[in-house]
A and B are shown apart, each in its own frame.
Chain A
Amino acid sequence: MLATNNKYVGLLYLSPALLFVAVFVLYPLVQLVMISMTSESLLGGGEFVWFDNYLLAFSDRSFWTSFWFTVRYTLIITPILMVLGFLLALLTMQNRALNQIARGVVFLPVVIGLASSSLLWVWLFDQQVGLLNKALVDVGAIEQPMVWFNRAHLGMTAVIVSVVWKVVGFGMIIMLSGMQSISHEIVEASMIDGATYWQRVRRIILPLSARAILLATLISAIGSMLAFDQFYLMTGGAPRGQTFTSVYWIYQNSFVYFKLGYGSALSVILMVVIMAGAALQIALQRRGESA
């Protein structure tokens, strides 16, 4: 008999991970829901208030401002990331040395920290010492160095530029792997039929890497809906809290205003939104696995 047939031995090996998930994921999850129904504060105290926090959230304008700001950020940055990622994947798909170096370089910022890249870009965008401002003036795009972080849409633009630089390589790699799994015969057949390069891109490469594109889109969108570091470090929510994201607003309520109960209710709402997206992602991945 194979040693591996003993189910208790298997359970023994699996149990540390299961125990960890139970203690550090499931238990806090239950706690989160419970805290969200109290008026708990970091300073102590708090009583059971049923769904008051949730009702409060729905009438809290700051919450909605942060929520729609996050949605807007996601809706703007995701298409930019996907289109650029797709084009970069097309470009670096070729096996020439220069294209592959470009691929490696585009991917490089993916491994560095979002906090580090945000602090790099906040410097580049600075009105006084920022080299990006200087470059824009030098090429004549603007007349004099701009203040990027005193208006919400400019602040968001700066954040988007920095995050695109930081993560565009991620989408590129995912789409590249989709493109590279396209069979050679299909591509060659289309060439014999005399299809031009862009026809091939539109009719073959794009539809056949659709699953990879969809996956990259979902992963990026979920990531953007959870944005925190880049806004905390670049805009600080300014001006007047207009650039608070959902996570930032939760952080603000829970750990700056110490309103743990209310912060938890906001967390539960955010979690439901995110889990819907994540469930879709996992369903897609599992389908790809069985295919």
Chain B
Amino acid sequence: MTEIASPATNIATGATDARVVGGSRSVGYLVGALCLAIIALMLAPLVLSFLASLKPPAEAAAVPPQYLPRSLSLANYQTVANYQAGLWTYVANSLVVATLTILFCLALAVPAGYALARYAIPFKEVFFLLILASMMIPYQAMLTPLYLMFSTLKLTNTHVGLAIVHTILQLPFSVYLMRNSFEGIPRELEEAAVMDGCSSLQILRRVFLPLVLPGMVTVSLFAFIMSWNEFIAALIFMSRETSFTVPVMLTGVSTGIFGVVDWGALQAGVIVSVVPCIGVYLLLQRYYVSGLLSGAVK
């Protein structure tokens, strides 16, 4: 658990010492108790959902319900695994869309960030603002024209199509982040590379890419989490049963078969959908928190 805490220390530029905030010892105990209560309250929904997913189906549907399972079973996971086209089809759809989104974001944002940070381009500020401004447009309002356009291009119900929509959402943040990453690199480095006779592309590949790798990880991380979780565009653009992403499939589980909801299977589905996000976050939390702050605050 202490792992979760570490990024938090990193975002602190000036560490706040406990003395400054806390008071006497009894206050310290009170604060400790409060922290424990908050931790319990925040974890409870996920823990209960996980436990429910492990109940045998009859137990998961029992009225009134019990907090803890009396016996454990993977039957709910089997139900979800065999739901319609099969869970793995939907997980694969989500993964392919997320991977394509990451690739599109990197392919567009890395050169754009490089150009914005290092080149004298006519109307540079205008172009930069134009890219950032697309962040102001709610994509929820753009779904109709995009849908019509993608129908014409035969991109509905395709991984590439949904990945493009997700890239629209994620591109401004990605460009912003990559520009900042490139700007953080000392100019002396590339001057030295030019002296050594490197071409512009060689400089980008050999000098810059290793140094902006953390920025690229952050871009990928955000693209993955957004794409994996995104719902309304997936709902509209992926209307064929075999092209559903995980959240859209879960909607199907939640409406149930003949109106009867399989609650155990639904929670198994919820767990399957949250585990990759939590896993990726725990592995790369440092990048996540710093990215969030540079996107929102700076």
Give 1 or 0 for each of A154-174: 1 = CB within 8 Å of chain B CB. 000000000001000010011
Give 1 or 0 for each of B50-94: 1 = CB within 8 Å of chain A CB. 001000000011111101000000000000000000000000000
Across-interface contacts of B45 in A (CB, < 8 A):
117, 120-121, 124, 165
Answer whether residue A28 sits at the interface, using C-beta atoms and an 8 A cutoff.
yes
In the assembly, what is the distance between CA of A242 and CA of B194, in Å?
65
Knowing A31-B149, A123-B263, say if A7 contacts B4 (CB, 8 Å).
no
Answer whether residue B143 sits at the interface, using C-beta atoms and an 8 A cutoff.
yes
Knowing A108-B42, A113-B277, say if A3 contacts B194 (CB, 8 Å).
yes
Answer whether residue A177 sits at the interface, using C-beta atoms and an 8 A cutoff.
yes
Answer whether residue B273 sits at the interface, using C-beta atoms and an 8 A cutoff.
yes
Q: Interface on chain B toward A: helix, strand, loop, or mixed SS?
A: helix
Answer whether residue A224 sits at the interface, using C-beta atoms and an 8 A cutoff.
no
Knowing A28-B149, A174-B297, say if A268 contacts B141 (CB, 8 Å).
yes
**B231 partner, pick from A16, A31, A93, A229, beta carbons under 8 A:** A229
The closest CB in chain B to the CB of A112 belongs to B274
Knowing A112-B229, A116-B247, say if A98 contacts B35 (CB, 8 Å).
yes
Answer whether residue A122 sits at the interface, using C-beta atoms and an 8 A cutoff.
yes
Which residues 82-127 of A sit at the B interface, judged by CB distance below 8 A? 88, 90-109, 111-117, 119-124, 126
Answer whether residue B298 sits at the interface, using C-beta atoms and an 8 A cutoff.
yes
Knowing A32-B141, A100-B9, A131-B67, say if A180 contacts B14 (CB, 8 Å).
yes
Answer whether residue B293 sits at the interface, using C-beta atoms and an 8 A cutoff.
yes
Interface residues on B, range: 35 or more
Q: Is the CB of A5 within 8 A of B49?
A: no
Across-interface contacts of A274 in B (CB, < 8 A):
136-138, 141
Answer whether residue A59 sits at the interface, using C-beta atoms and an 8 A cutoff.
no
Q: Can you give 18 contacting A-B residue pairs, CB < 8 Å? A: A3-B190, A14-B121, A16-B107, A21-B131, A24-B168, A25-B142, A32-B145, A35-B145, A35-B148, A91-B31, A95-B9, A115-B250, A119-B250, A129-B263, A173-B289, A270-B140, A285-B296, A288-B298
